[in-house]
Amino acid sequence: MREHDVMRSAAGLLVLILHGDHGYYYDLAVKHDRVVHAYVAYSRRMCEVTRPGGTLLASAAGLLPLIPDGGDYWRLSAAGWRRVLAQQWPGCDVMVEAHGNCLAAVAAMYGLAQEELNRDELEAHDPRYPVLITMRGRKPATAS
């Protein structure tokens, strides 16, 4: 498995897709929800490797089916992520949003494709059924 992917965006930003640990600084750090067991450590590392004025982007599954052969010890709500990121991304302007609704959650659990629901069904928001949690942090341009 790759430790990270680095690319230059159309705007010329150096972008890091975070899979592991390395010693560089980036304009944008992105963590997708594939990294399940190291959320806090990866969140802290994202902040460390992002340049002043850079942006951190992350997502996490809000609704996951429980599996009978494994423990379910690490799942945070949007409020939980706000608390974690206030500690892990200090000084950043942090925004955390939950997205989803009961229909979208059930559709995801049944394995329906996005195309099987219409836009209004997908975009309806019900805070009781977060399917996806998105996070953004903007580092101050100068150290505070």
pLDDT number for residue 14: 45
pLDDT number for residue 39: 67
CA distance 8 to 3: 17
> What pTM did the predictor assign?
0.72
pLDDT number for residue 33: 54
User: Could you give the C-alpha distances from 86 to 19, 37, 43, 80, in angstroms and in order?
Assistant: 22, 19, 11, 10
Coil vs helix vs strand at 73: coil
Spell out the domains of the chain, with CATH numbers in brackets: 4-99+132-138 (3.40.50.150)
CA distance 96 to 60: 11
From first to last of its 144 residues, the chain has per-residue pLDDT tens of 244 444 444 444 445 544 444 555 666 666 655 444 466 667 777 888 888 888 888 888 887 655 566 665 567 788 888 988 898 889 999 999 999 999 999 998 899 998 999 999 999 999 888 888 999 999 999 855
Coil vs helix vs strand at 28: strand
Closest CA to 28 of 143, 142, 136, 129: 136
CB 97 within 8 A of CB 78: yes
CA distance 118 to 27: 35
| Helix (H), strand (E) counts: the chain | 4, 6
CA 61 to chain centre: 8
Neighbours of 130 (CB within 10 A): 21
